[in-house]
Structures are given as structure tokens and as C-alpha cells.
Amino acid sequence: MPTTSVEKLSPTRAKLTISVTPEELKPSIAHAYEHIAEQIAVPGFRKGKVPPPIIDQRVGKAAVLEHAVNEGLDGFYRAAVNEHELRPLGRPSADIVEWPNEKDFSGDLLLAIEVDVRPEIELPDYQGLELTVDSVEVGDDEVTEELERLRSRFGTLITVDRPAKTGDFVTLDLVATIDGTEVDTASGVSYELGSGELLEGIDEALDSLTAGETTTFESKLLGGDHQGETAEITVSVTAVKERELPEADDDFAQIASEFDTLDELTASLKEQVAKNKSFGQGSQARDLLVDKLLELVDVPVADSVIEDEVHRHLESEGRLEDDEHRAEVTESSTKAFKTQIVLDAIAEQEKVQVSQEELTQYLVQGAAQYGMDPNEFVQILSQNGQIPAMVGEVARNKALAIALGKVTVKDAAGNAVDLSEFTAVVDENEAEGDEAASEAPAEEAPAEEAPAEEAKPAKKRSSKKAAEADEASTEEADAEKKPARKRTAKQADAE
């Protein structure tokens, strides 16, 4: 095994020095000869059967050595990382300090590899921290709004002979043209005016139109071959319909719910609004706890890791030149990175384990988010080595739930808030012996939001949702990247 040492250059960067003896490099040399023999054609020899002396004559020992070092570099690096329990976050950079002798491969190979690593932090004592969330107050208007929403579900659409207004449903025919050429059409589209769920500018264009009228406006296309391009949209209204709502009475309560009276239904809706707000208290408490932890602990940030993540994000959006958005993404990515580091540390401190059942549930939810079949989603993640990233996300979620269970949460009025649905406790026997059980992985660069997406599956490019899934994860792959090495002029000349 190569001799290795590590030097901490900063809290977020480490330098590995690796010394490889000729004996340790020998397997890579042998494989280099085999690989080169497959690539070259020499008269009198079958492909792959060219002996080393002939390879030395044809390509030179320097090329063989170069090939062997390139092949062995990644393995030497990974072994050193494991030996010193480093947690890489970015792409390593390798410098070959000394080469073996090109004539007989004698002498040691000396490597110097620098890489950004996860910083070591000292967690604050979060036991007993106090958090204040908003009080749950349900107003009559909120209950009325829920009742109106329920009535809308049981409403009927009635065709009217008048100009369309916000809240009406209009039936539309649309034609999109660019430079006079038709690029897309749609007929019989039903659209709720004012919902903002179709093309930008369509609400203004349709306002006050009656059935049989046509207008044009410009808007960016949301899909198809010309997605993102500005087109002239011709829209024709074929019908205007208004929603007729049922009376809010006991009969409606019996039709729309399990209750016999409107009073009972209203009381139930009030309880539902209160429950939703209680759920909001849980989400607010989680956010407040994360902010409090980040306030109490210093988390060093590797600038290069953040810059790489920001570049990937902006590049995927085609907004590399948008400095204002760059600042926003930098801020959010930095916070996400720090949050992951803190929650990873809590997961380790609390000895969090992830069971196969928990991982499966998380993956099923992720598949649903992207409208993909769970089996296909898992297969894509597995093929791209993203399962450890998913385990890490589940572990972080559990770590936050455990920490939340150890703090005191009150509302604005000073009343204790029950967040038992959002908390967890450590079970020392949980997931014991489970193959999926794992501590949160450290080889993860920041995502813009956590949990993320932390999956970046590469799948068939015919699916827009798959492309969105590709952008949904943390950069787990950075930890898997091979060292990018600097080459000496001597070796470049030898090529």
C-alpha cells in the first residue's frame, strides 16, 4: 500500500502526499501494456497480443508510464482519502512531483493532491434551545375561503353571452407564429381567466373579450421546439362560461361532506384550517432551528465549491451573465452548504441510521415529484451513483427531526407548541444490520435547496421531467471525480 500523509492547508482544503513504489505501480504498468496492445496494430501480431518490447519500440516507455500513472492515480487517491478519513467536496487537483525512471520504471512515483474537504465543526448544545413560532389563529374569512373553495368544486359551468372577466372559464383556439411562420396550435383549450396558468400576457389579452372575438399578443412559448422564444399569439374565444355555485346550506353539506348540517361542515373546515396552520408551525420551527444553529456555529465555506455549484445552476438556466441572480444563488447555495454540514454533524453525533424502508419512501416521493415511475427513478439514480446522496438527505432530515425534539417551541403568546409530528428520537437498535443503514455521506457539495435534490439522474432525453430531475440534486459526483493532474513538460514532450 502506498505511503501517504495529509496536510490541512485550511479548514476546507487538504493536501495529500502519496508515495508509490515500483512494486505498487507494477499492476498499473502491466495493465498499460495490455491496453496499449489493444489500441495499436503491428504487422505479424494479433491485436492485443503485441509484446511489451515491441510496444516499447513503437510508442516508447514514457507513454507506457504516462498511461500507467493516469490509470493508477484515481485508485491511489481514493485509498489515501479512505486512510485519512477525508471527506472530499470538490474536484481534486493532482501534481506529479516525481516520476519513476522511464528506462526501467525504477524509483518512486510521488504525488501531491489537493482537494476541498468538509470542514470539521463544533456543534452547539441545542438541547433546550427556545424557539418562538407564530400563534395559530383562524379567522372567519379563512373559513369562508375554504367553504368557497369547496363550493367551487361542486359548481357547474354555465355559458354566458357577455365579455369575459376574471374567474370566468373561456374556451380558446390559439395559433403561435414566429416571423410569420406558424410554429404551434391548440384548439378547444379551457382556461380560467386570471389564473395565470397559461401564457404570460393572456389574461390581459382576454379581458373583456366575448365569444367569437379574436386578438393577438406576444409571449414566450413554454414548450415545444421553440420553447423560450417570443412568438405572436393569436387567440380566439369560442365560449365564455361562468361558474354557478351551489347554495351554502344543509343540503350542500350533505352532498359535499360527511356532515348533515352546514354548521357541522363549517366547524370541520375551521379545524382543518387550524391543522394546516399547525403544520405551518412545524415547518417554521424547522427553519428557525436551522437559522439558530447556523448563527451559533461557524461553518467555513470552500469558495471553489460554492462557485462550482453556482456556475452549474446558472448554466442550466442560461443565466451566466445575470450578476443579480448570481448573487442570489450564491447566497442560497452558501446557506444550503452550511446547513448540510451542520445536519451531517448532528447525524453523526446522534448516530442516525437510515433504514431501507425510509430510503424507499424518500425515493418514491422523489419519483412522484418528477412524475416518474419509482423503479425507473431508482434505476437512474443507481446507475449514476446517486443513492448515497439520497441516503444522506434522509439522514439529514432525521437529524433535524431529532434536534427539533430536543428544543422548546412556544407560540407568540407563550403557549407550548406540540410538534411531535415533526420530531424524532434516536433508537439505538433502529436499522441494525440493515444494508441501507448509513451515516450521512460527506462527499456532497451544496444544493440550492435542501433536501434536494440531491438526485441528478441521467435518463432518456425525450422526457422534459427527466431533464428537470437531472437538475434536482447536489453535486455528489464531485466527490467521485478523478484527480485532474498537472503534467511536466518532460512528460508532455514524451507524448
The answer to whether residue 150 sits within a structural domain is: no
> What are 356-404's pLDDT values in tens digits?
999 999 999 999 988 899 999 999 999 988 999 999 999 999 999 999 9
- Assign 451 a pLDDT band (cuts: 50, 70, 90): very low
Residue 74 shares a structural domain with residue 164: no
Residue 91 shares a structural domain with residue 169: no
Burial (0-12, 13-18, 19+ Cβ within 10 Å), 161: exposed
Q: What value does the mean pLDDT take over residues 341-351?
A: 94
The answer to whether residue 206 sits within a structural domain is: yes
Distances (CA, A) of 236 to 179, 185, 211, 233, 470: 20, 12, 8, 10, 37
pLDDT value at residue 275: 87
pLDDT value at residue 159: 94
The answer to whether residue 137 sits within a structural domain is: no
Residue 224 shares a structural domain with residue 307: no
pLDDT value at residue 472: 40
Residue 422 shares a structural domain with residue 307: yes
Burial (0-12, 13-18, 19+ Cβ within 10 Å), 125: exposed
The answer to whether residue 433 sits within a structural domain is: yes
The answer to whether residue 449 sits within a structural domain is: yes
pLDDT value at residue 479: 44
pLDDT value at residue 485: 56
Contact 25, 75 (CB under 8 A): no
Residue 7 shares a structural domain with residue 95: yes
- Assign 443 a pLDDT band (cuts: 50, 70, 90): very low
Mean confidence (pLDDT) of the chain: 85
Task: Name the domain count of the chain.
Answer: 3
Amino acid at 21: T
Contact 196, 185 (CB under 8 A): no
pLDDT value at residue 227: 86
pLDDT value at 63 more than 80: yes
> What are 114-169's pLDDT values in tens digits?
999 999 999 999 998 999 999 988 899 999 999 999 998 998 999 999 999 998 99
Residue 417 shares a structural domain with residue 344: yes
Its sign, for the CA torsion 405, 407, 411, 413, is positive
Percent of the chain with pLDDT over 90: 66
Residue 317 shares a structural domain with residue 434: yes
The answer to whether residue 53 sits within a structural domain is: yes
> What are 17-48's pLDDT values in tens digits?
999 999 999 999 999 999 999 988 888 888 88
Dihedral angle over CA of 358, 398, 445, 96, nearest 10: -80
Domain boundary, last residue among 202, 227, 244: 244
pLDDT value at residue 495: 40
Cell numbers at 221, concatenated: 412559448
Residue 457 shares a structural domain with residue 350: yes
Residue 189 shares a structural domain with residue 71: no
pLDDT value at 459 more than 50: no
d(CA 79, CA 195) in angstroms, rounded, equals 57
pTM, rounded to two decimals = 0.66
pLDDT value at 449 more than 70: no
> What are 77-113's pLDDT values in tens digits?
999 999 999 999 888 999 999 999 988 999 999 999 9
Residue 404 shares a structural domain with residue 473: yes
Q: Which domain holds residue 198?
A: 156-244
The answer to whether residue 149 sits within a structural domain is: no
pLDDT value at residue 48: 82
d(CA 126, CA 342) in angstroms, rounded, equals 12
pLDDT value at residue 429: 54
**207: CATH:** 3.10.50.40
pLDDT value at residue 436: 45
The answer to whether residue 134 sits within a structural domain is: no
Q: Which has the closest alpha carbon to 282: 386, 424, 161, 93?
A: 424
pLDDT value at 430 more than 90: no
Q: What value does the mean pLDDT take over residues 280-309?
A: 92
Residue 85 shares a structural domain with residue 164: no
pLDDT value at residue 490: 38
pLDDT value at residue 465: 36
Residue 57 shares a structural domain with residue 108: yes
pLDDT value at 327 more than 70: yes
pLDDT value at residue 484: 62
Cell numbers at 203, concatenated: 389574461
**81: CATH:** 3.30.70.1050
What are the backbone angles phi and psi of residue 327, rounded to the nearest 5°? Answer: -65, -40
pLDDT value at residue 440: 41
Q: What value does the mean pLDDT take over residues 451-478?
A: 35
Contact 92, 484 (CB under 8 A): yes
d(CA 467, CA 455) in angstroms, rounded, equals 11
Query: Among 59-63, 228-232, 423-427, where is mean pLDDT lowest?
Result: 423-427
pLDDT value at residue 218: 94
